[in-house]
Amino acid sequence: MTPQILIVDDDPQIRSVLRIALRQAGMTVEEAGDGEEGLSKARSGRFDLIVLDIGLPARDGLEVCRALRVSDQTPVLFLTARDEEIDRILGFELGGDDYVTKPFSPRELVARIKAILKRGVPQSAGSVQQRGVLRLDTARHACLVVETSVPLTAREMGILAQLMARPDQVIARPALVDAVYGLGMDVSDRTLDSHLRNLRAKLAKAGCAEAIETVHGVGIRMGPCSPA
């Protein structure tokens, strides 16, 4: 199926550049020029991914993402004019899946969008993984702790799927970054830590507080996920 992409940016020139690049990549594009319009369209559930500018006037992209994440887990790729760590970390803590700093290469942005969408493609075999009370079904993008559904972003799902595929092994941080974000992606330790922190918090809230363990100086592995 043709990916449906929503671009939310107040700059018509940027929307035009993105529209051309995404359509050339075989995607269908819809646009919004401000946060309110973007949030309204995003809530329709028609889109496979949202490209969201952080620096929108009135209601900025972080506020839009926060409101959207109350009931929707559509992947979000942030655009930011500032190359500041706090922007990126705050964006990921609100449920963003990736970011691109302006000025950006349309080719790089399309590659990042494809990488996010690829992680959301159902796999026919081996899609269901179980660890204690934690159950992950990547084909349905579903995560359950006993009977409690845990809403995960595409990045969080990718991290958890990688860890559950080798539940008794410690995965080195660089290897986890390559597997989840793609080879050659410049991802800081703080970005990975932000996603891990969000993932741990969601699983703990659902009743699985020891789901992910950090082995200091070595890497990350699954915890026992035993009943509370």
Looking at residue 125, what is its pLDDT? 39
What's the distance, Cα to Cα, between the start and end of the chain in Å? 41
pLDDT (tens digit, 9 = 90+) per residue, 53-68?
Answer: 998 988 899 999 989 9
pLDDT above 80: residue 120: no
What's the pLDDT score for residue 41?
Answer: 93
pLDDT at 101 over 50: yes
- 148-159 pLDDT per residue, tens: 999 888 888 889
* pLDDT tens-place string over residues 194-228: 889 999 999 999 999 889 999 988 899 999 888 76
Buried b (16+ CB within 10 A) or exposed e, 113-150: bbbbbebbeeeeeeeebebbbbbbbbeebbbbbeeeeb
In DSSP terms, 220 is beta-bridged to 171, 214
Per-residue pLDDT at 124 exceeds 60: no
Is 70 exceeded by the pLDDT of residue 122?
no
Mean pLDDT of the chain: 86
Of 64, 98, 60, nearest in space to 78 by CA: 98
Radius of gyration of the chain (CA): 17
Amino acid 19: pLDDT:
95
Q: What is the pTM of this model?
A: 0.67
CATH: 3.10.50.40, 3.40.50.2300, 3.30.70.2750, 3.20.20.70. Which one for 4-119?
3.40.50.2300
For the chain, give every domain's residue range: 4-119, 128-222
Topology (CATH) of 128-222 = Arc Repressor Mutant, subunit A (1.10.10)
Q: What is the mean pLDDT of residues 104-110?
A: 91
